[in-house]
Structure 1
Amino acid sequence: MSKQLKNLTLGAILLLLPALLALVCGWHWHGQQTSITAYPFYLFTQTVTRPWGIVTSILLGLLLYRNALPLTRNLGVSLLLMVIVVWGGQGIKSLLKPYFAQPRPYVVALMEEMHQTPSYFYQQTQSERQQLIREASTFWPTLPAWQQGHWLKETGYSFPSGHSFFVASWLLLFYGLLSIKKSWPLLIIVTLWAWAVMWSRMLLGMHWPRDLIASVVIAWGFTFLVLVIYHFFSHRRS
């Protein structure tokens, strides 16, 4: 279990790099940064957004099962671990968002343009929030339609990041259940995908670096707890 903890921690540290780099450089999103050059990152964000997130989960689940350590080669056990870690993490995210009620970067920037506070935005109904977002092109003429469309679908709170929670849960499962020496090409690919999704959340004005950091840290703790419980019961059966 100590080796798994080291591997999980390695995965978490790697996943923290995009957000930490943004913090060190003092970078943060603002309205003037909307650009067509962010479109590739939008495509990466779509791999987590419904319905493509389901397809991504199936593909990652198959890859994880085929390359998992012998301990988790049982199909039922593997599926259970994936469901608990990934979808349990999404449940945690859903509970925390309304509790912290932190505004998204694009909401803060848009409300500044409208001389309103972020709380004004969140006091509106869903349809009223969407109408405010449609007015964003008045202030940012170069705002791409696909980015505005993404905002229209995600008018909720910022902290923590659900997309980051999703990629962190999967990445940590890969680092926790795969042999790093034998599976390093696959781990590199999954890590690069996770980085791209994390960058996309900041570049599209959806999340602050702190949102990503919190998601990774909570996902690390939750994944470790699930694996500890799994090992405890598996050892009792043996």
Structure 2
Amino acid sequence: MIDYIANKSKGLLLLAFSLYSLLPVVLIGVDFDLGQSIEPFVGRFMTLLTDSAGNSGFLVTLAVLSALTLRLKFPRIKFLSLAIQLSLLLVICFSAKTLLKHSTESPRPYTEYLAQVDLIELPESFYQLSLSEKNEVIMNVTSNVSEWRVHHWLGEQDYSFPSGHTIFVAICIAFFGGLFFESRKFTWVAGLMIWAAGVAYSRLWLGMHRPEDLIGSVVLAALIYLVVPKIPIPMLKQYLPTVLFNKGLI
């Protein structure tokens, strides 16, 4: 058990650091004026950050991080083991995220703004509307709310807890960050952590999540990362066809 945890210690350490980086936000609080005007550059930058961990960009992020991992020049069979582990982590994390969203039914912060401007009675009321009614309510604030925020509000109308974007970021920190740390690629680790902090901030700034959503997502990802084992290479050698090894494919 000690060896098992030690093998994951680098990734868990980086996740703990990411939680520590969120501490100032929790202590000071976050109170963005969702109706404030936004410079186009800021809107584009925040959108780019949040999209890099969302449906429209997470595959690109995975491709970039995977390309960096290939530069570590592990044996091919280790790459296969890592790919299986990463696939399991992503499937389990996103399945858990979907289950928790429907279980907690926590309204997104922007629904509180919609209630403040009297477009809905309560944040919870938003989720009783049909899709077309939700869109209509959001479009009613376009004269006061930046198009950059409205775009995301229209695109994400599910519940707030946990944050799928943050879960993805946390898996990247634990999995790729752990590999980079072990390989002493500290510049890569630093870049990964800065990107992760940027994505977290963008989710708060857009009115999509609260700090507790982000913290809960990191904790959830850490627990799943802890219980999903690395696939032992001897086991792969046992079950993979011998011809793959003979031809040097693995």
| TM-score w.r.t. length of structure 1 | 0.87
In the alignment, does 2:51 pair up with 1:46? yes
Task: Say whether the 8 Å CA contact 1:134–1:148 is kept in structure 2.
Answer: yes
Structure 1 or 2: larger helix share?
Answer: 1
- The counterpart of 1:31, out of the listed 31, 34, 37, is 34
Residue of structure 1 equivalent to 2:247: none
User: Residues 4 and 178 from structure 1, CA distance in 2 versus in 1: closer, same or farther, beyond 3 angstroms?
Assistant: farther
What letter is aligned with 2:189?
A: L
Residue of structure 2 equivalent to 1:163: 165
Task: Say whether the 8 Å CA contact 2:5–2:226 is kept in structure 1.
Answer: no
Counterparts of 1:235 and 1:50, CA distance in 2:
31
- Shift in Å at residue 87 of structure 1? 3.1
- The counterpart of 2:95, out of the listed 88, 91, 98, is 91
Structure whose CA Rg is larger? 2
Quote the sequence identity (%).
Answer: 28
Task: Say whether the 8 Å CA contact 1:20–1:209 is kept in structure 2.
Answer: no
- Shift in Å at residue 145 of structure 1? 1.2
What letter is aligned with 1:160?
A: P
Residue of structure 2 equivalent to 1:6: 9
What letter is aligned with 1:23?
A: V
Task: Say whether the 8 Å CA contact 2:90–2:168 is kept in structure 1.
Answer: yes
Unpaired stretches in structure 1, ≥5 consecutive residues: none
Secondary structure of the residue aligned to 1:31 is coil
- Shift in Å at residue 35 of structure 1? 2.7
What letter is aligned with 2:134?
A: R
Residue of structure 2 equivalent to 1:19: 22
What letter is aligned with 1:28?
A: D
Task: Say whether the 8 Å CA contact 1:22–1:28 is kept in structure 2.
Answer: no
Residue of structure 2 equivalent to 1:230: 231
1:91-170 matches, cutoff 5 A:
91-114=95-118, 116-138=121-143, 141=144, 143-170=145-172
- Shift in Å at residue 43 of structure 1? 1.3
Residue of structure 1 equivalent to 2:79: 75
- Shift in Å at residue 146 of structure 1? 2.3
Secondary structure of the residue aligned to 1:160 is coil
Residue of structure 2 equivalent to 1:66: 71
- The counterpart of 1:190, out of the listed 189, 192, 206, is 192
What letter is aligned with 2:49?
A: F
CA RMSD of aligned residues (A): 2.5
Task: Say whether the 8 Å CA contact 2:109–2:207 is kept in structure 1.
Answer: yes
1:177-216 matches, cutoff 5 A:
177-180=179-182, 182-216=184-218
Task: Say whether the 8 Å CA contact 2:138–2:154 is kept in structure 1.
Answer: yes
Counterparts of 2:178 and 2:139, CA distance in 1:
43
Provide, for residues 145-180 of structure 1, a one-character-per-residue CA deviation record: whole Å limited to 9, x for no partner.
Answer: 122111100011000000000100111002333344
Provide, for residues 115-139 of structure 1, a one-character-per-residue CA deviation record: whole Å limited to 9, x for no partner.
Answer: 510121000112211111111224x
Task: Say whether the 8 Å CA contact 1:165–1:219 is kept in structure 2.
Answer: yes
Unpaired stretches in structure 2, ≥5 consecutive residues: 239-250
- Shift in Å at residue 7 of structure 1? 1.4
Task: Say whether the 8 Å CA contact 1:38–1:203 is kept in structure 2.
Answer: no
User: Residues 181 and 112 from structure 1, CA distance in 2 versus in 1: closer, same or farther, beyond 3 angstroms?
Assistant: same
State the number of aligned residues: 232
- Shift in Å at residue 44 of structure 1? 0.5
